[in-house]
């Protein structure tokens, strides 16, 4: 049985990291929990002692501080070392949840050589390790899709012997120059990448690889996953029959041309030397590899907001005890403990076992990610029903499946006849939404203003519940029923524009899909009044319509 190439690379990276964990910075492993990842982590734990680090770790865990339990037991301040003082290899599960603040602190520790990281990234879609750590971890590995039966146990060579040999390893003198040139032609802007490749090559040579094989493995592990553009292929120079312009001073021109030609020759030779390190099949293999350049923070979840009940913990701050805030007991005790001897001398008759003053109080802070709700306002009037209602329903069903995968809430408003109706308040039930949508009849007038008014109410309710709303309006723009129920396009259009201006005050992202066969002026005016993205769909099926909305939501 031949193991997959990704598994062989993972074993090579693991061995190199075990030889020089501080020099390599760490491993970035993209994989869900399962037997394949467990097999890799078992081999790593056998080679190196690991200590776990929570992705929500606070400053006390990193830098150390007062040990509350030991202080209370000893009746004197007892301080404990933090993770940075202990050093070693830190294993971070769910590393995609590391906050930018923690990523910055860990990045400084990695630069100082105080620790190394093994980041287990279990993110989906655009949930990735913060970019500050991506750049500092030498080897990005992806174990996604590897079958467990094809991934044998990893048996590492004698790491102690390789570590003793590491200081004597000598690479070719121009290796770093070749790696830097190759990184530049791959579109890699970071200067850390060729340095990572050099350190991986040294570790592989300490393990017994020949220099060429060590450099090839280093390129596969460090540069290839970061590649943005492949190295340029050789192109035949086209003959140019156009005579060059005659310069004023032939001698100066000849000197400049010779210098430029020499620079180009040196660069071409350098590139060819660097490309010679690549195996023939590397570019084809790397073309299908995911890059680690996803923008951190581009999450499709709702907006972040501060709270005090749930969500990601933030460092506590001094505050006042009140019903609106929760007291951080440990932080309060840490602040009060060093002052206990002095306070006990000042108040010897105080019966309280711990003397806490108002300045010691610390309150908890959290950061919630608000749920997103997509509010669909659907034109079910006669003009739309005859032409595009079926397509609109199909598009919404496709979007419902995407919203369910993103854990979004969905609300459904239909306007037809004389009024608008909220068929479904914000919900995550895709079955219920599809049922209401399938039963949606078509026909009658177009009370567009009433539909926008109903959307205003749903968006306001969603904000009161702490959600982040997005409005999607599907209409042909032919409004003919005013807010008071009177028929007439002029008044109906004016009412619709007024409601659009009121909706704009909600500051919610909005998309208006013009479903008319011919673009209507009112639809364009509405999009401007709503400050919405205008998407004309004169000839589109349900899938194209859903795709346009998905692109606008991302």
User: pLDDT by residue (tens digit) across 519-542?
Assistant: 778 888 888 898 888 888 766 566
Band of residue 128 on the pLDDT scale cut at 50, 70, 90: confident
Q: Binning pLDDT at 50, 70 and 90, where does residue 238 land?
A: very low
- Predicted local confidence at residue 161, as pLDDT: 92
pLDDT tens profile 374-414: 888 888 887 655 555 676 677 777 767 776 666 678 888 88
Determine the pLDDT at residue 138. Answer: 92
Structure-token match 């400053």, residue found: 59
Which range, of 111-125, 249-263, 389-403, averages the lowest pLDDT? 249-263
Beta strand 116-121 with 139-142 is: unpaired
In this structure, of 28-37, 77-86, 307-316, 375-384, the range with the lowest mean pLDDT score is 307-316
DSSP 370: P
Between 291 and 162, the higher pLDDT residue:
162
Least confident of 103-117, 454-468, 537-551: 537-551
Confidence of residue 255 (pLDDT cuts 50, 70, 90): low
pLDDT on residue 137: 93
Question: pLDDT-derived band of residue 126, with 50, 70 and 90 as boundaries?
Answer: low
CB distance 420 to 379 below 8 Å:
no
Give the CA dihedral 416, 419, 425, 431, nearest 10 degrees.
-30
Q: pLDDT band for position 367 (50/70/90)? A: low
Q: When comparing pLDDT for 547 and 360, which is higher? A: 360
pLDDT for 435? 77
The pLDDT value given to residue 29: 92
CATH number 3.30.70.141 given to 372-553: no
d(CA 230, CA 235): 14
Is the pLDDT at 197 greater than 80? The verdict is yes
Round to whole Å and give the CA distance between 422 and 199. Answer: 62
Cα–Cα distances (Å) from 112 to 61, 105, 131, 227, in that order, read 18, 11, 18, 27
- Residues forming beta bridges with residue 492, ordered by sequence position: none
Q: How far is CA 427 from CA 402, 454, 478, in A?
A: 14, 16, 29
Q: The tokens of 292 are what?
A: 């680690």
pLDDT digits (tens, 9 = 90+) for 48-60: 999 888 888 877 7
**Lowest model confidence (mean pLDDT) among 154-158, 209-213, 256-260, 449-453:** 256-260
Mean pLDDT across 306-331: 65
Single pTM value for the model:
0.53
Tell me the fold of 5-226: Rossmann fold (3.40.50)
pLDDT at 553 (0 to 100): 61
> For residue 290, is pLDDT > 50?
no
| pLDDT, mean of residues 28-37 | 89
Residue 420 has pLDDT above 80, yes or no: yes
- pLDDT category of residue 266 using cuts at 50, 70 and 90: very low
Per-residue pLDDT, averaged over 79-91, amounts to 84
Per-residue pLDDT, 67: 74
- Look at 48-52, 229-233, 365-369 and tell me which has the smallest mean pLDDT: 229-233
| pLDDT tens-digit readout, 218-229 | 999 999 888 876
Read off the pLDDT of residues 493-512 as tens digits, 9 standing for 90 and up.
899 999 999 888 888 888 88
Q: At 333, which helix (H) or strand (E)? A: helix 329-336
- pLDDT band of 192, cuts 50, 70, 90: very high
- pLDDT exceeding 70 applies to what percent of the chain? 74
Distance of alpha carbon 316 from alpha carbon 60, whole angstroms: 11
Domain with CATH 3.40.50.410 in the chain: 372-553
Three-state SS for 20? Answer: coil
| Run of H or E including 504 | helix 489-504
76 — pLDDT class (breaks 50, 70, 90): confident
Provide the b/e sequence for 165-187 (b: ≥16 CB within 10 Å): ebeebebeeebeebbbbbbbbbe
Other CB atoms within a 10 A radius of the CB of residue 156 amount to: 16
Q: Look at the block and give the residue holding tokens 């990523």.
A: 103
How many whole angstroms separate alpha carbon 530 and alpha carbon 510?
7
What is the mean predicted confidence (pLDDT) over 457-479?
A: 84
pLDDT at 25: 92
CA distance 365 to 328: 9
pLDDT, residue 230, reads 57
- Give start-end residues of each CATH 3.40.50.300 domain in the chain: 5-226
pLDDT averaged over the chain? Answer: 77
pLDDT at 23: 92
- Count Cα neighbours of 295 within 13 Å in the Cβ-side half-sphere: 5
Q: Identify which has the larger pLDDT, 90 or 428.
A: 90
Contact 140, 134 (CB under 8 A): yes
- For 370, 413, 458, 526, 531, the CA distances from 464, given in Å and listed in that order, are 11, 19, 10, 25, 22
**Bridge partners (DSSP) listed for residue 52:** 91
**pLDDT at 293 (0 to 100):** 39
């Amino acid at each position: 049985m031949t193991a997959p190439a990704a598994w062989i690379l993972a074993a090579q990276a693991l061995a190199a990291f075990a030889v020089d964990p501080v020099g390599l910075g760490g491993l970035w492993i993209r994989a869900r929990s399962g037997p394949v990842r467990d097999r890799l982590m078992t081999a790593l734990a056998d080679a190196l002692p690991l200590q776990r680090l929570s992705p929500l770790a606070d400053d006390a865990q990193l830098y150390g501080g007062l040990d509350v339990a030991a202080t209370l037991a000893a009746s004197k301040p007892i301080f404990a070392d933090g993770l940075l003082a202990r050093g070693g290899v830190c294993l971070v599960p769910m590393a995609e949840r590391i906050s930018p603040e923690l990523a910055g602190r860990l990045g400084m520790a990695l630069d100082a050589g105080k620790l190394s990281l093994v980041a287990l990234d279990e993110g989906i879609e655009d949930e990735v390790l913060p970019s500050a750590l991506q750049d500092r971890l030498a080897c990005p590995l992806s174990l996604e899709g590897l079958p467990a039966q094809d991934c044998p146990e990893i048996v590492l060579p004698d790491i102690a012997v390789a570590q003793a040999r590491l200081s004597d390893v000598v690479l070719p003198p121009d290796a770093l120059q070749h790696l830097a040139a190759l990184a530049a032609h791959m579109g890699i802007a970071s200067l850390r990448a060729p340095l990572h490749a050099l350190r991986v090559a040294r570790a592989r040579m300490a393990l017994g690889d020949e220099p060429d094989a060590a450099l090839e493995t280093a390129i596969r592990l460090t540069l290839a996953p970061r590649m943005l553009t492949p190295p340029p292929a050789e192109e035949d120079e086209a003959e140019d029959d156009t005579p060059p312009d005659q310069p004023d001073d032939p001698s100066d021109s000849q000197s400049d041309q010779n210098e430029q030609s020499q620079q180009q020759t040196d660069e071409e030779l350098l590139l060819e030397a660097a490309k010679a390190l690549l195996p023939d099949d590397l570019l084809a293999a790397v073309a299908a590899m995911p890059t680690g350049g996803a923008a951190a923070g581009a999450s499709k979840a709702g907006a972040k907001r501060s709270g005090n009940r749930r969500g990601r913990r933030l460092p506590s701050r001094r505050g006042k005890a009140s019903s609106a805030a929760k007291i951080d007991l440990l932080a309060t005790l840490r602040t009060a403990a060093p002052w206990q001897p002095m306070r006990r001398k000042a108040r010897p008759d105080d019966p309280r076992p711990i003397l806490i003053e108002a300045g010691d109080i610390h309150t908890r802070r959290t950061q919630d990610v608000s749920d997103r709700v997509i509010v669909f306002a659907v034109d079910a009037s006669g003009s739309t029903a005859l032409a595009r209602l079926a397509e609109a329903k199909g598009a919404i069903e496709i979007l419902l499946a995407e919203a369910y995968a993103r854990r979004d809430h969905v609300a459904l408003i239909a306007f037809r006849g004389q009024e608008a109706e909220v068929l479904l308040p914000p919900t995550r039930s895709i079955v219920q939404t599809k049922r209401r949508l399938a039963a949606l009849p078509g026909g009658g007038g177009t009370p567009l203003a009433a539909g926008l008014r109903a959307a205003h109410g749903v968006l306001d309710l969603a904000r009161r519940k702490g959600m982040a709303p997005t409005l999607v309006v599907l209409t042909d723009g032919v409004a003919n029923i005013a807010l008071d129920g009177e028929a007439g396009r002029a008044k109906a259009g004016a009412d619709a524009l007024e409601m659009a201006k009121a909706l704009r005050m909600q500051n919610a992202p909005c998309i208006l899909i013009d479903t008319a066969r011919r673009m209507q002026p009112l639809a364009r005016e509405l999009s401007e009044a709503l400050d919405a993205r205008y998407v004309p769909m004169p000839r589109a099926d349900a899938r194209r319509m859903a795709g346009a909305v998905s692109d606008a939501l991302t």
